[in-house]
Structure 1
Amino acid sequence: MDFTYLIVILALMTMLAVIVFAMVSKAKVENRREDSDSKKSTLAPDKRSDGEPVDV
């Protein structure tokens, strides 16, 4: 087996992992955005900026 095949396989697996991670993150954000009971970000216009951040 040539190293070229190894590099190609590693590159494709890395791209696949990044795409899966992005899709999962996007789904989490969309679910949180649709949930009316979730805590608001401190960057939201109707939230105090000196409050506790959501993700801490």
Structure 2
Amino acid sequence: MDWTTLTVALAFVTMIGAVVFAYISKQKVENRMNDSSARKSTLAEDKDSHAKPADV
């Protein structure tokens, strides 16, 4: 195996990993947006900006 094969394989695995990570993150965000009992973000218009963050 020469270095070009290794480079292509690493690039492909990295891209697949990034896509999987983005998909999982998107699913978590959408689930949180659809959950009416989830705490509001401190960036929400009607939430105090000095309150404890929702994700902590």
Check whether TM > 0.5: yes
Aligned residues: 56
* Equivalent residue number for residue 48 of structure 1: 48
The SS at the match of 2:8 is helix
Name the TM-score, length of structure 1 as normaliser.
0.95
Which structure 1 residue ranges, 4+ long, deviate > 3 Å from structure 2? none
SS at match of 1:42: coil
What do you get for the CA RMSD once the two structures are aligned?
0.6
Report the TM-score when normalising by structure 2: 0.95
Cα distance in 1 for residues equivalent to 2:3 and 2:48:
55
